[in-house]
Structure 1
Amino acid sequence: MLCILFNPLQTQIVRSVSVNPWINQAIEEYLLRQISEGQVLLFLWQNKNSVLMGRNQNPWKECRISLLEEENGKLARRISGGGTVYQDEGNLNFAFMTPKKLYNLKRQFDVILQALKDLSIEAQRSGQSDLTIDGFKFSGNAFYLPRGLACHHGTLLIDTDLNRLTRYLQPSTETIKGKGIQSRRSNVMNLNQIRKGLTVETMMEGLKGSFVRIYGGTAQEVQVDENNYGISDLMEKFSSWDWRYGLTPTFEMVLHHDFPWGAFRIDLHIVKGRIDMITIESDELKGPSIQELNLPMGKDPFTKETLIQYFRGVDCFPENSVRDDVLKWIMTRDI
């Protein structure tokens, strides 16, 4: 008699109690590295007042960095591609982690869609990576497929501050040229606009139940934070300037303003998030009207403060009042 042995999936649910995006990114990467054959893991977490961009994006093109930092927000860069999203504690993040041979995008999306259906919310997939209701996006998804492993992660807008989302995710008004992937702008909505009173906790419980029904297994649940795993190196990586800004593809930015005394233009060449070259143009300069600043380029991060420091130290202005006008103008720029 032929005997067929069936090996059930090993399912697990992990929930982070941290709301720090850099910590949660570190936990996510750690968990992905530990995935074993036959295992499917659902990771759930929330972030506080954060902007997360895709691996190959330019933060200066995607969000108002200065405003985010002034309001104690955190900028993060994902390991996956895709676009930039705003997250707060009214948003639920999820990740499906599997060996590549168990990666099944339809099945993973079914977990989410079934959980929503159980809450009397009818939603649809839109394209490869979005979930929508009547054309309004409430979930963006991205994918990371390292050798032998797979991660499908995404967001669920439930009670997110859409005013902050709109304020932070405004493309820069400056002229920027470069190869970074640019986000597609979408009309968004919160799920509690469809189901009044819906909370993140209710949605989270719905996802857990749907995950168990669709994947089976014991789906043992554990709660974790930065102290559960040896992730200090990963936390350092995701919070570092080099990861968040230094991976930005090379780009150029042009700043231009018409002062009462004449026009002034700054051309910036940025490599790995650092100022590589500055050229200025104005009829009010001492010497030629177009000058390349002779500064130690390629070392200093591209920030508003660095730019102000540069212009305080160069001797190219005919008088201090012109320099003061330029410095005041730079201080108003959203860079």
Structure 2
Amino acid sequence: MRTTLSSALTRLTCISHSLRPTFPQSLPIFAGRCQAARRLTTSSIRSWSLEDLPRVSQETSPLIFHLTSDNPYYNLSVEHYLLTHSHPDTRILLFYTNRPCVVIGRNQNPWLETDLKRLQQGLPPDEGRIPRTADNAYGQIHETQLRKDGTAVPIDLVRRRSGGGTVFHDSGNLNYSVMVPNSKSFKRSTHADMVVRALSSASSRYQFADIRVNDRNDIVMRRETESQWLKVSGSAYKLTRGRALHHGTLLYSSPYLDKIPGLLRSPGRDFIEAKGVESVRSPVGNLVWTPNPGKREEVKQEITQSIVREFWRMYGADQERRTGLNEVTLGSEECAEDTNPDIASGVKELMSNAWRFEQTPRFDFASGTVDGTAVAFQANRGVLEHLSLKSVSGASMERAKSDFKEEIKLHDVKSWKGLITGGNTQEQNGQNSIENSARNSAWSEGADAPDALVKRIEAVFPRYSID
């Protein structure tokens, strides 16, 4: 039975055996639990090992985790690890803050959800940035990292493992995740309501008159002098066998709020017909705005503690919150290969272009006619399957996947001009080769790909490279 008494017995057992150099053979289970409790209750972050999670989560619930890293690949991998390795009956609350990144849903199309060219250009430096410091509660004040040339803040593109729409994260956005049993009583609105209750008492300090959960389970707020409802939190969900994950964003004081619409407005929206999930655009706002990073941190800590108290009221009212035992801070050392290969593997997968782009469901692209010429193609898993070109002069050309020398990955096309006008075709024997040659010849004699057309395609499908 997983009760407060069970945890207390574990701690008492640790105390009673703390002076013994070894554990009696008759108490192997208690020995293991004692070792886990020692690691959990220490003040050293490095001594906490997630390898103990299956056992600890069986004996201790609820659990709260604070992540100090701002690496989105690491934070999402830790989140996935907690979901898949915790006991099915335990309840977990997780907090983390990411560096600037655009995060798309598991089944979304990155070319439809974001402006990849603008994303790769980065953001202007946050003038209010301050150096990294260890003086804050969870070590989560981060210095804005600039590119090597010092001109811009890079933006990561991340595909998460859960569904839902595309969101932007930065230092002014708090991410919270709740993991609970996947039972018939699970409702998608339950923990959004929890956050609203936590924030309602602070409405006067955060300059909003009202806050609520809408019919899409987004959290929206309205300012005292305005009638428009602004989205401050979106949610995504993942249901597994026995476990349910609800993770949400919370825009409390983003320095890049005005950049979000441009980053999440794809130039391909009028040209792509996708099979995956498309985001619903909503006007967004900050709960409160301050250019001072120190003040932002104070706001975040206040919000974090308000949510923790509400979560604890729901699931841990009969227990005491104990730092190191049921409320734990984790550092980025947990993602080292020799420390936790599962998390390290998750980080590697999320950072790969195979995951980022080649998980994209099948879609069609039609450029529309530009200077008398139109291009259309079909792609699946981010790979070109069929390409066609038509000119008002009557010239046309079609190519199938087999006509190219190698796979054409849309995120890695070096020259759309060369691809469109006949480069990178594969030599083939037989009637198909003759027909393809005839079509290519007819196209090359009839027209060229106009620069304006090529620019339209390149705007949607720029080559993706990481600085």
**TM-score after normalising by structure 1:** 0.85
Which has more strand, going by share of residues? 1
Aligned match of 1:278: 387
Q: Which moved more, 1:176-185 or 1:152-161?
A: 176-185
Give the distance between the partners of 2:418 and 2:68, measured in 1 at CA: 41
Paired AA for residue 314 in structure 2: I
Identify which of 263, 279, 284 aligns with 1:168. Answer: 263
Is 1:293 matched with 2:396? Answer: no
Aligned match of 1:267: 376
Give the distance between the partners of 1:53 and 1:154, measured in 2 at CA: 13
Pair 1:108–1:318, CA change in 2 (3 A) = same
Q: Which moved more, 1:64-73 or 1:197-206?
A: 197-206
Give the distance between the partners of 2:275 and 2:83, measured in 1 at CA: 29
Aligned match of 1:236: 348
Q: Is the 8 A contact 2:117 2:459 kept in 1?
A: no
Paired AA for residue 300 in structure 1: I
Shift of 1:114: 2.4
Q: Is the 8 A contact 1:12 1:218 kept in 2?
A: no
Aligned match of 1:7: 3
How many residues of Structure 1 are paired with residues of Structure 2 in the alignment? 323
Aligned match of 2:164: 82
Pair 1:298–1:152, CA change in 2 (3 A) = farther
Aligned match of 2:429: none
Give the distance between the partners of 1:322 and 1:313, measured in 2 at CA: 10
Pair 1:324–1:113, CA change in 2 (3 A) = closer
Which digits, 9 at most, give the CA deviation of each residue in 1:258-295, with x for residues without a partner? 33xxx1111111111111111111256xxx61111363
Instruction: Give percent identity, aligned residues only.
Output: 27
Aligned match of 2:307: 207
Is 1:141 matched with 2:141? Answer: no
Give the distance between the partners of 1:51 and 1:330, measured in 2 at CA: 22
When the two chains are superposed, the root-mean-square deviation of aligned CA atoms in Å is: 2.9
Unaligned stretches of 5+ in structure 1?
none
What SS does the corresponding residue of 2:231 show, helix, strand or coil?
Answer: strand
Q: Is the 8 A contact 1:269 1:277 kept in 2?
A: yes
Q: Is the 8 A contact 2:421 2:448 kept in 1?
A: no
**Pairs within 5 Å for 1:1-335:** 7-8=3-4, 10-71=61-122, 72-101=154-183, 103=186, 105=188, 107-120=190-203, 122-134=210-222, 135-160=229-254, 161-171=256-266, 172-192=268-288, 199-216=299-316, 217-219=319-321, 220-228=326-334, 229-230=340-341, 231-259=343-371, 263-283=372-392, 289-293=395-399, 295-296=403-404, 299-303=407-411, 304-305=413-414, 307-311=416-420, 314=423, 316-318=443-445, 322=448, 325=451, 329=455, 333-335=459-461
Give the distance between the partners of 2:278 and 2:348, measured in 1 at CA: 26
Q: Is the 8 A contact 1:95 1:153 kept in 2?
A: yes
What SS does the corresponding residue of 2:376 show, helix, strand or coil?
Answer: strand
Give the distance between the partners of 2:177 and 2:194, measured in 1 at CA: 11
Aligned match of 2:435: none
Which has more helix, going by share of residues? 2
Pair 1:297–1:79, CA change in 2 (3 A) = farther
Paired AA for residue 334 in structure 1: V
Give the distance between the partners of 1:37 and 1:328, measured in 2 at CA: 52
What SS does the corresponding residue of 2:327 show, helix, strand or coil?
Answer: strand
Q: Is the 8 A contact 1:49 1:86 kept in 2?
A: yes
Q: Which moved more, 1:266-275 or 1:322-331?
A: 322-331
Which digits, 9 at most, give the CA deviation of each residue in 1:187-227, with x for residues without a partner? 21110059x96632332232223322332244422222442
Give the distance between the partners of 2:242 and 2:167, measured in 1 at CA: 27
Q: Is the 8 A contact 2:373 2:449 kept in 1?
A: no
Paired AA for residue 132 in structure 1: V
RCO greater where, 1 or 2, for CA within 8 Å and sep 6 or more? 1
Shift of 1:118: 3.1
Q: Tell me which stretches of 4 or more aligned residues in structure 1 moved more than 6 Å.
A: none
Q: Is the 8 A contact 2:417 2:449 kept in 1?
A: no
Give the distance between the partners of 2:98 and 2:168, measured in 1 at CA: 9
Q: Tell which structure's C-alpha radius of gyration is larger.
A: 2
Paired AA for residue 241 in structure 2: R
**TM-score after normalising by structure 2:** 0.63
Give the distance between the partners of 2:218 and 2:86, measured in 1 at CA: 26
What SS does the corresponding residue of 1:192 show, helix, strand or coil?
Answer: coil
Q: Is the 8 A contact 1:280 1:293 kept in 2?
A: no
